[in-house]
């Protein structure tokens, strides 16, 4: 536990640059009491609403909850949703100087209508522009990225296919990572694998991995073969596959071949898996930024995801919750965090 505490304490000295698709998740909650006379649909009498950062914004929230310093690069429309996203970032102590405002773009807003009686969505309404950025807007994003890479330990690309992470933007991120010797981690949503050539580490779930290799999910042999193919073709340093109730599997490229580490889930109770992937991604990135080995960072991410799925709704995790989860004997970790970087290199002193 002492080694874990030391690793978590180092988070406050780290900085991560997040590039990706920012969204606003809005929830309108109410009561369903009757069916509409106009169509066979329920009428939701809305009695409350709230909104929070979603997409790459949820990654940012998780990093800040872990006490990691964050800079953000992305694009927003010149609209109310964009203003709310900026306000949400400001509440986390993050300025919006790295965000490009595009008056031709509609900021992504997902409105979920929820029945309070059943705790379920009645339906969802999306407002957004999902086309890829181009021209001057794309150039501005690349410029913002390059201006902010100095002083960070990790570049984290959070892709939700809403248009920010174009091939050109990703290429700029990978080049900046190599130039500054910074790890570039990508959460891939696109099925075009070559788009991610040049990343240091990819973190897909099984469905995303299936799209990247072009074959259906089909057991353990498929997983190993897919990881080998993707790691070789994209020249990755590592691949971390999140596998839901089966936990995670880390594949690391070594001279002797592909090293595999299976990490079973540490979830005690599963109430809601919403946002668990963002939590795992954020915690892994924080661990790498703090100088942990990839295996140690993956173990820590697995613990964090286990905490979050025990909460209702999109949730975040704190260092105290991680330590509390580890403190229960039946979930005691079989690993000790390996800090591969000195405190001096992480703090930038």
Tell me, yes or no, whether 143 lies in a domain: yes
Tell me, yes or no, whether 139 lies in a domain: yes
272 is catalytic: no
The predicted pLDDT at position 344 comes to: 43
Tell me, yes or no, whether 254 lies in a domain: yes
**Per-residue tokens: 213:** 């290799």
330 dihedral zone (left: phi>0; alpha: psi -120 to 50; beta): alpha
Sheet of 22-35, strands arranged across: 42-55, 22-35, 108-115, 120-127
Mean pLDDT on 126-138: 96
φ and ψ of 287, to 5 deg: -65, -45
| Model pTM score | 0.90
- What CATH number should be reported for the domain holding residue 274? 3.40.1190.20
| Domains: count for the chain | 1
The predicted pLDDT at position 180 comes to: 95
Tell me, yes or no, whether 233 lies in a domain: yes
The predicted pLDDT at position 316 comes to: 83
Q: Point out the least confidently predicted range of 189-198, 218-227, 242-251, 322-331.
A: 322-331
Is residue 41 pLDDT above 60, yes or no? yes
Tell me, yes or no, whether 119 lies in a domain: no
Rounded mean pLDDT of the chain?
A: 89
> In whole angstroms, what is the distance from residue 17 CA to residue 99 CA?
12
Length reported for the chain: 349
Mean pLDDT on 205-224: 94
Tell me, yes or no, whether 203 lies in a domain: yes
Which one from 79, 220, 278, 338 is the annotated catalytic residue? 278
Work out the angle at residue 278's Cα, subtended by the Cα atoms of residues 162 and 199, and round it to the nearest 5 degrees.
Answer: 70
pLDDT per residue over 49-80, tens digit each? 999 999 999 999 999 999 999 999 999 999 99
DSSP at 132: P
The whole domain housing 69 covers 2-24+53-108+130-339
Tell me, yes or no, whether 255 lies in a domain: yes
Crossing angle of the two packed helices 294-308 and 319-326, in degrees rounded to 10: 90
Tell me, yes or no, whether 35 lies in a domain: no
Place 1 in a pLDDT band, splitting at 50, 70 and 90: low
């Amino acid at each position: 536990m002492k080694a874990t505490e030391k690793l978590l304490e180092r988070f406050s000295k780290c900085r991560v640059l997040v590039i990706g698709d920012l969204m606003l998740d809005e929830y309108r909650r109410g009561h369903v009491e009757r069916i509409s006379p106009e169509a066979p649909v329920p009428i939701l009498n809305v009695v409350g609403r709230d909104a929070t950062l979603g997409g790459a914004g949820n990654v940012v929230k998780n990093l800040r909850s872990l006490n990691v310093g964050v800079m953000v690069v992305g694009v927003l429309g010149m609209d109310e949703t964009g203003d709310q996203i900026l306000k949400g970032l400001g509440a986390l102590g993050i300025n919006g100087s790295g965000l490009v405002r595009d008056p031709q773009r509609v900021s992504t807003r997902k409105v979920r209508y929820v029945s309070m009686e059943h705790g379920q969505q009645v339906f969802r309404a999306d407002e957004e522009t999902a086309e890829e950025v181009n021209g001057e807007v794309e150039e501005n994003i690349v410029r913002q990225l390059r201006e902010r890479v100095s002083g960070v330990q990790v570049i984290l690309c959070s892709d939700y296919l809403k248009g920010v992470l174009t091939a050109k933007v990703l290429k700029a991120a990978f080049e900046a990572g190599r130039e500054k010797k910074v790890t570039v981690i990508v959460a891939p949503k696109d099925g075009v694998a070559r788009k991610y050539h040049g990343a240091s580490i990819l973190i897909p779930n099984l469905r995303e991995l299936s799209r990247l290799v072009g074959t259906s999910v089909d057991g353990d042999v498929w997983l190993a073969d897919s990881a080998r193919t993707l790691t070789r073709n994209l020249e990755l340093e590592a691949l971390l596959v999140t596998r839901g109730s089966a936990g995670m599997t880390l594949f690391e490229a070594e001279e002797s071949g592909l090293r595999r580490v299976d990490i079973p889930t540490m979830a005690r109770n599963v109430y809601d898996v919403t946002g668990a992937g963002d939590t795992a991604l954020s915690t892994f990135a924080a661990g790498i930024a703090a100088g942990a080995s990839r295996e140690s960072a993956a173990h820590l991410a697995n613990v964090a995801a286990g905490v979050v799925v025990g909460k209702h709704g999109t949730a975040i995790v704190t260092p105290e919750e991680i330590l509390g989860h580890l403190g229960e004997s039946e979930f005691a970790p079989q690993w000790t965090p390996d800090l591969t970087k000195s405190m001096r290199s992480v703090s930038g002193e």
